[in-house]
Structure 1
Amino acid sequence: MEESRLGNLSSLAVCAGAGGLALGLEQAGFDPVLLLDNRAAACETLRLNRPKWNVVETDLLDFDPVDHQETYDVDLLAAGLPRVKASAAVAREDSAEEIRVLEATIMLMHGVQPRALLIENVPDLVSKPAYEPIRAYVTTELEHLGYRHRWFVLNAMDHGVPQDRKQGVLVAFKGDLIENFVAPVPDTKPPITVGAALRSSMAARGWPYADAWAAQADQPAPTLVGGSWNRGGADLGPTGSKRSWARMRVNGGTVADELPGPEFPWDLSLGVKGMVALTVEQAARLQGFPADWSFAGRKTARYRQVGHASPPPVGRALGCAIRAALGHRA
């Protein structure tokens, strides 16, 4: 096989966030020529973990590839976009930021002309009628540019992530390369539970009930939700998610500053006061981030980055599938 087919491929990551998707793609053999995000904390996180990455802090709507010619003809344009809301999909109002960002990503295809496109978003985007205007727009633009595409849904817990997190995925390839694409196949192993993922960290400061807690936290985590960047503190998600967390004796209404110590109680009669809260680092483990991946900013900003991230193991699985479709060994 030719040397070029054995080496790493190039990628452009927009809305890169804390780097979950980019990290997974790196593990699959994609080197980013540029990573783009409009939040200072996220950009600092990227630089903190990968000092050599070319990180640009700007809004995607203001990004012009003419000023960054290293992005031309990359192998992959990858985007973990802000979650599109169904109400915006129906109305398509100019004020709907998520729609504008998705459209800007598709329009970026005109200038960059990548060999492949990867967009990750909400699972409903794939098939629900409310999102049909967006899918029609994507189809029209991609076909005009000579790309063929496919929508599908995968669940992070089927790919080594201890979290029930469904993700809607769009892949597109120039020409007929879509015929080579095979979506990642779910693992045959049982999903990793919260207890298995976090037992060691719960015991790290000498909490004597870590094993008992881990034994009853015997299911994958519900979907972590980053929440709004503009209001509120850090918590693990909406009311339904908090109820699921409570069944595992986790207080989903907050994020802890530190792990439980020897004095922390294990008393079910205390309600939320007898429940552990997760730290940002523990939430990151439930997203599949490696232990050495650091997050910049204060606690709420750090948790927001974690909750909004695409799990790296999913990025790796998708990257390997895209790499194979492009004719390169994984």
Structure 2
Amino acid sequence: MELITEYEVSNLLDVPLHRLNTWANNGKLVPVESNGVKKYSKESLLKFDIANEIFDSKWNEFIQTKPKKKYTSIELFAGAGGMALGMEKTGIEHVLLNEIEKNACNTLRFNRPKWNVLEGDIQNIDFSEYKNQVDIVTGGFPCQAFSSAGKKLGFEDTRGTLFFDFARCITEVRPKIFIGENVKGLLNHDKGNTLEVIKQAIKDIGYTLIEPRVLKAMYYKVPQKRERLILVGVRNDLAKHISKFKFPEKYHSVLTVSDAFKKGELFDTDVPKDQGVEYPKRKKEIMEQVPEGGYWRDLSDELQREYMAGSYFLGGGKTGLARRLSMKTPSLTIVCAPAMKQTERCHPIETRPLTVRESARIQTFPDDWEFQGAKGQQYKQIGNAVPVNLAYALGLSVVDFLNEITKDT
């Protein structure tokens, strides 16, 4: 009987340890004591779909996917290159990357001098010269609110938003497939109306949308609990092949902060030393009292009141406040400012915010990828990025799909 630890089960099922204890008490999932340590048999976990997907992972075969011909891509809202790097790793060639933010463009150019980086507002760019010459358009379009009330829920209703320009690029280029990514909250934004506008707009421009899916990065060789909504659209003349698109295989284990910082499955060396932001003196004194994996509720009541001030009396868990990460679990979502009170990301063992390189490793950027701009700008670029390994997994799915439809055309 193969046994795995309670931490591994907690990470695998993405449930806290206290819930496993509750399940043990009510008989839903009963641990086995092994040398005083709680463990669980693999067989007992087969009642959970995610456990079956991980245990039956075909990741090793999946990563053998290679382009059967040259596939090209346009990357929009490219940021610091998380999506572009992952796609490049699959063999996809970028013909254009567009980004408005100067420091992010400098990062792209510094690390990939040969990439065609077009700095500027997407609203001012005409993509028509690439019509029928590019296979893929990708982009994490920023999603400003746009109301659907009393409207036709179509392409024109997105005008004035950056999704409109994402869709306009697709219309002008006519790629075989596009990948859009966004925050999980888009699913239910404005009671689902925003997504309905987007779905109708995609239909209006001649593409068939695969049912949007939320992917948890932690299941794709990323030591982080980031969740992203993925939109995949196929040009209508190729829609008969749509069943051939398969979302990525999951990695065969869930990686942790320790995997990000230590030599092992993800990196060949321990995390390089790097400078980061620091806490003010009193905040550091308080944060030193937070245990690994803990947050403000693990402080004494006196310190809770001091640290939380007026928020102490408000409802809600506020679990990001005074939050220290744990080496034994995937990181919480990496944010743009790791020392901000609402979204604290304290190092698991040392009492300080994560450094730029530690944050980048949790996003699975390689150590030789150098971010440009002031320290705050570097943190922002990393926090806004798509994890490289998640983009790699998506890229493999795209390559596999294009290989399949190439066989039939």
Q: What corresponds to 1:28 in structure 2?
A: 90
Aligned to 1:40, which of 97, 102, 105? 102
Retained in 1: the 8 A contact 2:130–2:173? no
Name the CA shift for 1:165/1:98 in 2 (closer, same or farther; >3 Å).
farther
Q: What corresponds to 1:223 in structure 2?
A: 333
Aligned to 1:235, which of 310, 322, 338? 338
Offset from partner CA, 1:265-318 (integer Å, 9 cap, x none): xxxxxxxxxx13321111100001011111111101111101100011111111
Offset from partner CA, 1:238-263 (integer Å, 9 cap, x none): 62x42xx459346xxxxxxxxxxxxx
Offset from partner CA, 1:77-129 (integer Å, 9 cap, x none): 000223x36xx25579xxxx99711121012221111111101110122x316
CA distance in 1, matches of 2:327, 2:113: 37
1:285-296 superposed matches below 5 A: 285-296=361-372
Q: TM-score, normalization: structure 2?
A: 0.61
CA distance in 1, matches of 2:138, 2:388: 13
Retained in 2: the 8 A contact 1:124–1:131? no
Aligned to 1:179, which of 214, 222, 243? 243
Q: What corresponds to 1:134 in structure 2?
A: 194
3-state SS, counterpart of residue 285 of structure 1: helix
3-state SS, counterpart of residue 118 of structure 1: strand
CA distance in 2, matches of 1:63, 1:118: 19
| Match status 1:166 vs 2:227 | yes
Name the CA shift for 1:144/1:216 in 2 (closer, same or farther; >3 Å).
closer
CA distance in 2, matches of 1:156, 1:145: 30
Q: CA RMSD in A?
A: 3.0
Q: What corresponds to 1:248 in structure 2?
A: 348
Q: After TM superposition, give the deviation of residue 131 of structure 1 in Å.
A: 5.7
CA radius of gyration, larger in: 2
Query: What amino acid sits opposite 1:117 in the alignment?
Result: F
3-state SS, counterpart of residue 301 of structure 1: helix
Aligned to 1:148, which of 202, 208, 230? 208
CA distance in 2, matches of 1:99, 1:152: 26
Q: After TM superposition, give the deviation of residue 326 of structure 1 in Å.
A: 1.6
Aligned to 2:218, which of 151, 157, 171? 157
Aligned to 1:201, which of 261, 267, 271? 271
Q: After TM superposition, give the deviation of residue 142 of structure 1 in Å.
A: 2.2
Q: What corresponds to 1:268 in structure 2?
A: none
1:43-122 superposed matches below 5 A: 43-66=105-128, 69-70=129-130, 72-82=132-142, 84=143, 88-90=145-147, 100-122=161-183
Query: What amino acid sits opposite 1:187 in the alignment?
Result: Y
* Structure 1 residues not aligned, in runs of 5+: 206-212, 227-233, 251-274
| Match status 1:319 vs 2:361 | no
Query: What amino acid sits opposite 1:128 in the alignment?
Result: N
Query: What amino acid sits opposite 2:258 in the alignment?
Result: G
Query: What amino acid sits opposite 2:353 in the alignment?
Result: A
Query: What amino acid sits opposite 1:48 in the alignment?
Result: F
CA distance in 1, matches of 2:94, 2:123: 20
Name the CA shift for 1:49/1:81 in 2 (closer, same or farther; >3 Å).
same
Query: What amino acid sits opposite 2:271 in the alignment?
Result: S
Q: What corresponds to 1:209 in structure 2?
A: none
Retained in 2: the 8 A contact 1:34–1:56? yes
Query: What amino acid sits opposite 1:178 in the alignment?
Result: I
3-state SS, counterpart of residue 72 of structure 2: strand
Query: What amino acid sits opposite 2:103 in the alignment?
Result: A
Q: What corresponds to 2:69 in structure 1?
A: 7
- Which structure carries more relative contact order (alpha carbon 8 Å, separation 6+)? 1
CA distance in 2, matches of 1:35, 1:103: 18
**Aligned length in residues:** 275
Retained in 2: the 8 A contact 1:149–1:178? no
CA distance in 1, matches of 2:399, 2:115: 21
Q: What corresponds to 1:18 in structure 2?
A: 80
CA distance in 2, matches of 1:237, 1:298: 17
Q: TM-score, normalization: structure 1?
A: 0.75
Retained in 2: the 8 A contact 1:36–1:56? yes
Name the CA shift for 1:107/1:202 in 2 (closer, same or farther; >3 Å).
closer
CA distance in 2, matches of 1:89, 1:308: 21
Query: What amino acid sits opposite 1:23 in the alignment?
Result: L
CA distance in 2, matches of 1:104, 1:115: 18
CA distance in 1, matches of 2:124, 2:273: 47
CA distance in 2, matches of 1:89, 1:309: 24
